[in-house]
Structures are given as structure tokens and as C-alpha cells.
Amino acid sequence: GQNIDQPTEMTATEGAIVQINCTYQTSGFNGLFWYQQHAGEAPTFLSYNVLDGLEEKGRFSSFLSRSKGYSYLLLKELQMKDSASYLCAVVEAAGNKLTFGGGTRVLVKP
């Protein structure tokens, strides 16, 4: 089975940087996804990491350390539209099954 932990809520100021941490415990691992979900909407894909290191994509970056069972999502130059929940999801080694964390709700204030 999988155990995935991420903070419940974070608040940051427009233009600032926020880092959302995700730790996981798993018997098998085949990658980690980050999704963004605005209230009442579908989760949308942000990033996928399967190798250690940092993946940068515009204002968003995602980091993975497999040995530490740790990932983070970094949001830079925060905008009001970044207010959303951010979901960390781990892929089990077998199949394409995603196990999600509870999500981190980010509130961006002016």
C-alpha cells in the first residue's frame, strides 16, 4: 500500500514563492505526479517525475528524491489564479494506478 502526506493548507502573497512538500511511503514506485485542481473543477496535469532531480516548467517546478521518499512542487511569481488545491499522486510499480494524497489548498492573497 501507499501512504502519502502533504500539508492541508498554505497561504502566500501574490508574487511570492510557495513550496508544497509531499512525502510518501511505498513498497513500489513508478513515478510521481502533481495535479492542480480549482474548486469544482477537474484535476489538471502539472508534472511527472520518475528520476531524481528538478523538472522546471515555466513558473512551476517539481523535485523528486526517491531515496528520501520526498517531492516538492515549487510555485514562483504567484498569481491570484494559482489559488487551488495541489494534489500529489504516486504511481505503484504495478500497473498505472495512482494513489493521491489529500491535497494542499493554496490561497494566494493580494
Partner 1 sequence: EAGVVQSPRYKIIEKKQPVAFWCNPISGHNTLYWYRQNLGQGPELLIRYENEEAVDDSQLPKDRFSAERLKGVDSTLKIQPAELGDSAVYLCASSLGGPHTDTQYFGPGTRLTVL
Binding site for partner 1 (CB under 8 A): 4, 30-31, 33, 35, 40-45, 48, 50, 87, 89, 91, 95-103
32-37 and 44-49 strand pairing: antiparallel
**Which is nearest to 64 in space by CA: 96, 29, 35?**
29
If phi over 0 gives left and psi between -120 and 50 gives alpha, with beta otherwise, what is residue 44?
beta
Q: How far is the CB of 91 from partner 1 (least distance, A)?
A: 5
Q: How far is the CB of 79 from partner 1 (least distance, A)?
A: 22
- Looking at beta carbons only, is 16 or 43 nearer to partner 1? 43
Q: How far is the CB of 87 from partner 1 (least distance, A)?
A: 5
Residue 77: strand, helix, or coil: coil
